[in-house]
Amino acid sequence: MDQKPPFVAKSAHNCQWATPTLLEPSPRWIEAESKPWTCHRDAEPRPLDTTEVCEDCPHWDERPAPEF
């Protein structure tokens, strides 16, 4: 029986380019309440109004699993 790899939903929480805005340096972290995620894919970090843009992002890459 062939096993298919599990489906990975594209989202900010599992993208290697996204970080919680609250962890951003000042003054960017101030936007965390209205823009909870920031994309670092481009040269300039971009706060995200919604993570729905991650679902269709052609540059989305899965965040590597942490090494313990």
State the DSSP string of the chain. -PPPPPP----GGGBTTEEEGGGSPTTGGGGGGT--EEE-SSSS-EEES-THHHHT-TT--BPPPPP-
pTM for the model stands at 0.80
**Amino acid occupying residue 27:** P
Query: Does 64 map to a domain?
Result: no
Query: Does 62 map to a domain?
Result: no
Separation between Cα atoms, residue 68 and residue 8, nearest integer Å: 22
Q: What is the mean pLDDT of residues 32-54?
A: 93
Q: What is the pLDDT of residue 65?
A: 82
User: Rounded to the nearest 5°, which phi and psi values hold at 62?
Assistant: -65, 135
Structural domain containing residue 28: 12-55
Query: Does 41 map to a domain?
Result: yes
Q: What is the mean pLDDT of residues 45-67?
A: 91
Query: Does 61 map to a domain?
Result: no
pLDDT tens digits, one per residue of 1-33? 566 666 668 999 999 999 999 999 999 999 999
What's the whole-number average pLDDT of the chain?
89
Q: What is the pLDDT of residue 30?
A: 94
